[in-house]
Each structure stands twice: as C-alpha cells, then as structure tokens.
Amino acid sequence: MKEKITIVKVGGKIVEDDVSLDVLLNGFTAIGGHKLLVHGGGRTATDVAARMGVETVMVGGRRVTDAAMLRVVTMVYGGLVNKQVVARLQARGVDALGLTGADMDVVRSRRRPVADVDYGFVGDVERVDADRLAMLVRSGVTPVMAPLTHDGRGCLLNTNADTIAGEVARALAPLFDVTLVYCFEHAGVLVDPGREDSVIPRIDRATFEALREAGTVGGGMLPKLENCLAAVEAGVARVVITRADALAPGRGTEIVA
Amino acid sequence: MKEKITIVKVGGKIVEDDVSLDVLLNGFTAIGGHKLLVHGGGRTATDVAARMGVETVMVGGRRVTDAAMLRVVTMVYGGLVNKQVVARLQARGVDALGLTGADMDVVRSRRRPVADVDYGFVGDVERVDADRLAMLVRSGVTPVMAPLTHDGRGCLLNTNADTIAGEVARALAPLFDVTLVYCFEHAGVLVDPGREDSVIPRIDRATFEALREAGTVGGGMLPKLENCLAAVEAGVARVVITRADALAPGRGTEIVA
C-alpha cells in the first residue's frame, strides 16, 4: 500500500489576491498527509512587466519570454509569489519549501525549439527528480513549486504550471498514491455551464467519450480532460478538477482510469 | 573531529555583474566539502524599485523597507538573484538549493522595533535552525541563502546578508568546523590601504588591539573586525576577509580567536 500524496495546482488569479489566497491556503493546510503545491502568477508578471516597461506578448495563451520577460517571471514566480506562499504556509504550521526546477535540480527542461512561434526562454519538461521530491516530502517538507525550470546549463526557463503539476504527478506515481488537484474557476466539470450544482462527480474514459459525443463537454474542457485522462492512464491514481475554495475530498469532478 | 563547512557571504556588487559572478561561482565551486552561500542584491533592488516607481530610502547604509519595497526585495533577492545563482551553480555540478529564512523555517526573525528610525519590514534574526541546515548540507545540498527571513506569522522581512551569514555560522559552529568568508573589495585587511599586497595574513584579539592602537586599522574596518572576533569567540573556527575573486585557502586575512 503506497503512501498518499496530494498535488494541488493553483493559478495566478487565486494566489495573487490576498483573500482568495488565504482561503486556498486554509484548504491546502487542512489536507492530511503528504502534499505539494504548484502555483502560477501570470497576472502579477504582466503587471510588474508593465510597470518596468517590458511588453507582454501572448501567443495562443502562452507567454512569449524574451530575456527581459525571463527576468520578470524569475522575480515574480520564483520570488514574490513563491515566497509569500511559503511564508503564509509556515504561519499555518506547514513546513513549506519554495522550489524552482533549478533548486536541487528537481525539474530539468529543454528550451522549446522554434517552430511557427519563438516562445523564447520557455522550457518543455524533460525530467523530474522524483526521488529528491520524495525525500523532501517524507522528511515532512511541503514543496511549493514555481513555474520555472532550468536547462542544466545555467539558464532558467519559464514553464507552464499545469505541465509541471502533471509531470510531477506522473513522476511520483510509482512511489505514491497520487491525487492531482487542478483548481479552476468552476466547482467541477458541469453538465449545465450555468449551474455550479451540476457537477459531474466522476469521469473515466468511457464517460468522457459519451459526454463528448453528447456534446455535454466541449471547447477548452476537451483538451483539459484529455490531459487528466492521460495522467491517470499513466499511473496517477486520480485527478480532481475543483474550485480553489473547495479542496475537501468529495468536491469537484474526479477523473479516474 | 568535526566535518568542515565553508560559508561564503558575497555582496550585491559581485552577484549582479555577469563576469564577477562567474568568477565568484568558479571559486565557490572549487571549495571542497560542505559549503553554503549567502548573497546580497541591493543594487538590483534599487534599480528595479526605480523602474517600478518605488523610491529607495537608505538610513545609515540600511534600506528602509515599506510594503512596496518589501515586494521589490522579495522579487529581487528571493527570485532574480537567488535563482540565477542556483541555476549557474547547478550548471557547475553544485547541487544548490535557494532558501529564504521562510523556506523550511530555517531563519526566523523579529521585525525591528521602531526607535529613532522606522526601518519598516526589516528583521533581526531570532533563531537559525542549524539541524535543518545540517541535514541539507549532509545530504549533499549547497544552500544559497537570500537576505530575507520571516516572522513565523506570514510576513517576510528584509534582513542584512552579513548578519545572516554571521548568525548561520554561529548556529552551525557546534556541529561543524566553520570557516566564514566575507568577500569584500580588497584582498584582505591592508597595512597600507593603497597596496593590495600589504594584506595582514592573521589577526587575533591581541593583534587587533595592537593594530587599533597603532592606528593601522580604523573607520569601517573596526566594527567589521569586532564582528569577526565576536564570531570566532562564539565558536566559529575562523573568519576570512578576502576579495570575491580570491576564495582559495591562504588568501585574505584570517581572523581567529
């Protein structure tokens, strides 16, 4: 019987607002057993960049990261957001440790090759050091991971927080019973987009295909659910999609293999 | 016989310039055995603050840290400078881990009481968790410490890097044979301020008193040497004052009890 670990991914919108951050951190603190937090911070990065005269360029929802923007996201993700979360978790008795992929070499990536778009200093994850993370977690530490990795040659790389959470979950799956929680703006996958009480409690591959054929889920939810299914099919015990203020077990939509 | 550890403190001037940083990190990488780096970053903080429209106010060489400046130093010290150093050490095969005092609660401080000056969010060190740092170091990790601590109640505090280095050295002294290296702009304590080859190789309390009475050392060097002597008298094996490009043993001035 493997030990349990809960990996929570939360976006910038939540961590950048004092009130919603406190609600999230209370919920995260209440999670029993091993846990790990992955956060974003894009809105603050955009704001700080603007104040510093650095232009934000987004292509297909992804941030183009030139040298000036890399400095901004290193400051905002690795410093401002990460350390505020760490300090607030410590105040709640959670023994948090802020990490980028460069720290203890826990996540190494490769700069994305230039295809149609040159995203600049953006990394695609190559390797997660699951043993290192497991060592930390088993010693009672709660890693708080910023969406930054490194190439092993001295360069930091901006890396999507959803991707880091997914890759960390897969890497830890052989060692732990992994629950991966994606916080988003709704209470879960909804049957009726207008009704937060219409959450579909559980989705597996067969349910997903049926929901897709019936047109119940579509648009941006399709690739999101595909990613969740890929994670559980790769060994992650379960993926949960829920609201940041509803981290308790049984809330949201659970995706299983 | 205690294991050896070398603690190097380097100021912002060195870590903020690509060339001098590379020289420093090469020297630091070459140090054998356990090691730990404490860095500053004040110049970049002043620069980023200016670009963000935050005014820098210094009193007696110390930065007054209001809420806006705390955000800036959290970004610059905890993010930009710290993570660049970590990534570059990883590229040299040093298993670096960036830390503020909040991470794993390694350095807790108390907000400085308001006396003649209100320094704002500035912390005086209360406690260093030597066991935690020793555990990391013995597992092969090299801590890279930013000049930020926390109060245990969710607030980060700007904290002088020299002080952090000194407090960490004292806390580790019962567990390790500690060499504390302060990098500064000269080759060591000089007999003749104009000649870099006039380094005094070794100073103990008796030498210090003689140098002071003869007027050989004075000004800002007096409190610096007093601090070094206090550290060695508190159990730190030796303190070395040297240039950042001269970290090798036998360089600089060694202060002993």
Please give the structure tokens belonging to residue A126. Answer: 């190559």
Q: What pLDDT shows up at residue A1?
A: 84
The answer to whether residue B196 sits within a structural domain is no
pLDDT at A160: 94
Interface of A with B (CB under 8 A): 48, 51-53, 71, 74-80, 82-84, 86-88, 90-91, 95-100, 102-105, 135, 139, 141, 148, 150, 152-156
Question: What amino acid occupies position A50?
Answer: A
Q: Residue B102: its chain A contacts at CB < 8 A?
A: 83, 86-87, 90, 96, 98
pLDDT of B33 higher than 90: yes
Give a yes or no: residue B93 inside a domain: yes
Provide the residue range defining the domain that includes B19: 4-184
Question: Tell me: the pLDDT tens digits for A63-109?
Answer: 999 999 999 999 999 999 999 999 999 999 999 999 999 999 999 99
> Is A22 domain-assigned?
yes
CB-CB neighbors (< 8 A) of A100 in chain B: 83, 86, 98
Structural domains in chain B (count): 1
CATH number at residue A12: 3.40.1160.10
Distance between CA B39 and CA A223 in Å, rounded? 43
The minimal CB distance from B74 to the residues A80, A95, A155 is found for A80
Is residue B232 very low, low, confident or very high in pLDDT (cuts 50, 70, 90)? Answer: very high
Identify which of A7, A182, A12 has the alpha carbon closest to the alpha carbon of residue A84. Answer: A12
pLDDT at B107 over 90: yes
Please give the pLDDT value at position A219. Answer: 85
Per the domain annotation, does B54 fall within a domain? yes
- How many Cα neighbours within 13 Å face the side chain of A84? 24
CA distance A76 to A144: 14
Rounded Cα gap, residues B86 and A185, in angstroms: 34
Rounded to an integer, the average pLDDT of B1-13 is 93
Do residue A78 and residue B83 have CB atoms under 8 angstroms apart? yes
Phi/psi of residue A115, nearest 5 degrees: -115, -115
pLDDT in the model for residue A193: 86
* Interface predicted TM-score (ipTM) of this complex, two decimals: 0.95
Share of chain B above pLDDT 70, in %: 100
Is pLDDT above 90 for B209?
Answer: yes
Q: What is the pLDDT of residue B252?
A: 96
Q: What pLDDT was estimated at residue A12?
A: 79
Q: Does residue A100 come out as left (phi exceeding 0), alpha (psi in the -120 to 50 range) or beta?
A: beta
* pTM, to two decimals: 0.96
Which residues of chain A have a CB within 8 Å of the CB of B48? 52, 75
- Would you state the structure tokens that stand for residue A120, as one six-digit string? 């600049």
Q: Is B156 within 8 Å of A87 when comparing Cβ atoms?
A: yes
The answer to the question of residue A21 being in a domain is: yes
Per DSSP, A166 falls in state H
Q: Which chain A residues have a beta carbon less than 8 Å from that of B29?
A: none
Low-confidence ranges of chain A (pLDDT < 50): none
